[in-house]
Amino acid sequence: MTTNEAAEPAPPGQTLIASPGLAGWLAENRASLALTTYQAGRLIFLGLRPDGTLRAHERLLEQCQGLWTDGDTLWASGKAMLWRFRNDVPPGMATAHGADRRFIPREARVTGRLDIHDIGIGQMAGMAAPGPIFVNTAFSCLATLSDTASFRPLWRPPFISALAPEDRCHLNGLAMDGTRPAYVTAISRSDVADGWRERRVDGGVVLDVTSGEVVASGLSMPHSPRLHGGRLWVLNSGRGELGVVDPGDGRFTPVAFCPGYARGMAFVGRWVVVGLSRPRRNHTFEGLPLEGLLQAKDSAARCGLLVVDTITGETAHWLRFEHTIDELYDVAALPGVRQAEAIGFIGTDIERAISVEKAAQA
């Protein structure tokens, strides 16, 4: 990839452009970013080289969507698997490219094609110990891993009458409150196979997981609910809006306009990083309010990232994919990490990635 800040040589036909201040913002906030794109099947890390210029590092991961990391462990969903990666760089050390995190694939759970969206780590009824909790979009439920089956269902919206692989409401987003699932987003309250597609414009809802109640409705394809600073943030993707929901009265208050189909949200201090996609030209995205709103602003949908000030709503920095990558799904922040990379599944790197667990002290 290339940027206007002297990044690595780009693969043919792929260009990444960043605002001039993005590298400085990452350095100032001592953070790097991870993002997923299922359309191009990539797990991407954006960080800084030792000389302070941007470095984008990627690995292929088929239909990569959901993403969770605490900086040392990373979970990512694929087409039919849920992957767990683990950092093997000791504190104070770095790889040959200057990365202070190197994620190695340590576990791949075969789930089948569940269309896994958001991922959290925590515990709820039905789990013996904390672990991954993911949005199983195909079966319209929250689920976790099973040692004997594709998944273990944990919770489903009250309006979903049966557990079936029918993507009835397009459940997609999960907001964690610490280790507890707090809120989810869905495109509709449909209880028939693929029924959400008829309600894309205004059928979107936010649900309280504990009570099962709808706390906000009338949204357009909502995604990526997140709790931050005592507020519930949601992307009203069909209108290109970043905003907050008041669970008390259900009101959605826009904070910023996003010039693209918004999915993926991560917080770095007072800043929020939002992922943008170019809508596909098919029935899923046609006829959304976003199209007219972009035309009114004489703009076109873009794929990339926005860094938005949560206090003012102003865009401080941005990044754009000009070729190859048209859609992003998730975004995660890695606080205190300057640069991250991952090992691929084939080649000498993974063959040599051997480490020994320290024995417990007697």
DSSP 336: T
Check residue 284 and give its pLDDT: 61
What mean pLDDT value characterizes the chain? 92
Q: Give the dihedral of Cα atoms 205, 180, 265, 136; nearest 10 deg.
A: -60
Rounded average pLDDT over 137-156: 97
Q: Give the mean model confidence (pLDDT) for residues 319-348.
A: 93
Q: What does 198-232 look like in DSSP terms, one character per residue?
A: GGTTT-EEEEETTT--EEEEEESSEEEEEEETTEE
Give residue 283's pLDDT.
60
Mean pLDDT across 115-142: 97
pLDDT score of 281: 65
Distance CA 83, CA 106 (A): 8
pLDDT higher at 126 or 359: 126
Looking at residue 66, what is its pLDDT? 97
Q: How far apart are CA 213 and CA 247, in angstroms?
A: 10
Question: Tell me, what's the pLDDT at 351?
Answer: 83
Residue with more model confidence, 95 or 286: 95
Q: What does pTM read for this prediction? A: 0.92
Query: Residue 361 and residue 201: Cα distance in Å, rounded?
Result: 59
Residue 87, judged by CB atoms within 10 A of its CB (0-12, 13-18, 19+), counts as: buried
In the β-sheet with 204-208, what is the strand arrangement from edge to edge? Answer: 171-177, 180-186, 204-208, 214-219
63-72, 139-148, 318-327, 333-342: least confident range: 318-327
- pLDDT of 305 above 90: yes
Which residue, chain included where needed, has tokens 């693209």? 260
- Assign 238 to helix, strand or coil: helix
Predicted confidence band of residue 58 (pLDDT cuts 50, 70, 90): very high
Q: How many CA atoms lie within 13 A of 98 on its CB side?
A: 14
170-222 residue pLDDT tens: 999 999 999 999 999 999 999 999 999 999 999 999 999 999 999 999 999 99
- Report pLDDT digits (tens) over 231-241: 999 999 999 99
Tokens representing 238 are 């069909």
The stretch 137-153 carries a mean pLDDT of 97
